[in-house]
């Protein structure tokens, strides 16, 4: 069993950490602060709550006043979102009904059937979600890989004009995206990168790289050089030492950087709207296009937003510990 000697605070504490017994008065203000925080949290969460509910309501339920709090969840919105449908001819209708009775019909087909429709194929939303995954995923990988090497070099080597270079890299972030979209649009059209996956991947990679390099440099700075030097003396080359010693220790940094890049690329709207149309269009600009077409498809929009949110939520949840460290990194450095 480890004694306190081994695990306890090894360094003397030099700052005050007075933990007062709470007087009734400070206990009250403590409570007040907690209530305020909870209220703010609720206000912020309301839209998400409404969105989730809307996704599972039927169209009439969505627009009913007062809003329905208790309802039977339905996947109608998701069917609208994910499929192309047509009004079924009476003959097909009969067929489908028969199939449904025998339990041979899929869930979505059954829901479509309730409003007399048949599913003719997947909707564009599916393609766009897939585009989002491809573009965001690949650009994230590319940015992180490049940033790992660039950050390591900036951290360890005497690069000429290092500070200027670092500032230049960061300065690419100063311009708002909207300002550069038009020139980019013209350039991409000329280069035939408009509406291509590779074009979007390149764009997001370049855009993410500045932040990623800075983050990775910070993480590498925190790893003492003694580790690599020990490996050098032990008989390893610089590159081997990097992969076997440094990179495993920078894993948290890599994960945090990846999440930051992924979130940007996943959520990006302005570039995607201007630079893609059919082939490479990602999910964010496509969701609003569901407005129209004979009324606003609120349930489909909500379902689309929800579907769009879920992948990021999962990734962030899996990496939440790294992310927290990523957010707070630098705060405790000298």
Contact residues: other proteins, CB under 8 A: 2-6, 8-10, 12-14, 16-21, 224, 226-227, 229-237, 240, 245, 248-249
Nearer to other proteins, 76 or 228 (CB): 228
Q: Write down the least CB distance from residue 156 to other proteins, Å.
A: 12
Q: How far apart are CA 38 and CA 8, in angstroms?
A: 35
195: burial class by Cβ within 10 Å (0-12, 13-18, 19+)? middle
Nearer to other proteins, 70 or 233 (CB): 233
Asked whether 260 and 326 are in contact (CB, 8 A), the reply is yes
Nearer to other proteins, 39 or 230 (CB): 230
Q: Write down the least CB distance from residue 114 to other proteins, Å.
A: 56
Find, among 212, 222, 223, the residue nearest to 256 by Cα: 212
Q: Write down the least CB distance from residue 247 to other proteins, Å.
A: 9
Nearer to other proteins, 235 or 292 (CB): 235
Q: Write down the least CB distance from residue 161 to other proteins, Å.
A: 16
Q: Write down the least CB distance from residue 12 to other proteins, Å.
A: 5
Asked whether 288 and 302 are in contact (CB, 8 A), the reply is no
Q: DSSP states of 143-170 as a string? A: HHHHHHHHHHHHHHS--TTHHHHHHHHH
Q: Write down the least CB distance from residue 245 to other proteins, Å.
A: 6
Radius of gyration in angstroms for the set of CA atoms belonging to the chain, rounded to a whole number: 27
Nearer to other proteins, 9 or 294 (CB): 9
Nearer to other proteins, 10 or 183 (CB): 10
Distances (CA, A) of 41 to 32, 37, 45, 141, 317: 14, 6, 6, 33, 19
Q: Write down the least CB distance from residue 230 to other proteins, Å.
A: 4
Per DSSP, which regions of the chain are E strands? 83-87, 117-122
Nearer to other proteins, 12 or 66 (CB): 12
Residue 41 CA from chain centroid, whole number: 21
Please confirm whether the linkage preceding 206 is cis (ω < 30° from 0): no
Parallel/antiparallel/unpaired status of strands 83-87 and 117-122: antiparallel
């Amino acid at each position: 069993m480890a004694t306190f000697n081994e695990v306890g605070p090894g360094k003397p504490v030099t700052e005050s950490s007075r933990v007062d017994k709470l007087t009734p008065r400070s206990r009250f203000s403590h409570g007040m602060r907690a209530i305020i925080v909870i209220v703010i949290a609720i206000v912020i969460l309301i839209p998400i709550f409404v969105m989730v509910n809307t996704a599972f309501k039927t169209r009439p339920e969505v627009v009913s006043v007062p809003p329905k709090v208790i309802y039977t969840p339905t996947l109608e919105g998701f069917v609208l979102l994910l499929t192309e449908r047509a009004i079924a001819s009476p003959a097909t209708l009969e067929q489908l009904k028969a199939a449904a009775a025998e339990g041979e019909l899929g869930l979505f087909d059954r829901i479509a059937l309730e409003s007399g429709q048949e599913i003719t194929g997947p909707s564009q939303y599916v393609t766009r979600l897939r585009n989002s995954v491809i573009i965001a995923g690949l650009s994230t990988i590319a940015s992180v890989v490049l940033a790992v090497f660039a950050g390591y070099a900036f951290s360890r080597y005497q690069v000429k004009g290092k500070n200027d270079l670092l500032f230049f890299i960061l300065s690419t972030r100063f311009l708002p995206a909207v300002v550069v979209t038009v020139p980019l649009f013209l350039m991409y059209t000329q280069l035939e990168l408009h509406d291509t996956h590779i074009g979007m991947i390149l764009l997001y990679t370049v855009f993410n790289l500045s932040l990623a390099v800075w983050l990775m440099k910070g993480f590498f700075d925190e790893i003492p050089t003694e580790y690599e030097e020990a490996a050098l003396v032990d008989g390893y080359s610089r590159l081997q030492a990097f992969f076997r010693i440094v990179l495993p220790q920078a894993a948290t940094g890599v994960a945090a950087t990846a999440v930051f890049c992924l979130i940007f690329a996943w959520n990006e709207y302005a570039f995607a709207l201007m630079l893609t149309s059919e082939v490479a269009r990602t999910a964010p600009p496509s969701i609003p296009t569901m407005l129209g077409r004979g009324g606003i498809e609120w349930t489909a929009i909500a379902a689309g937003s929800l579907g769009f949110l879920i992948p990021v939520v999962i990734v962030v949840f899996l990496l939440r510990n790294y992310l927290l460290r990523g957010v707070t990194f630098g705060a405790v450095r000298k």
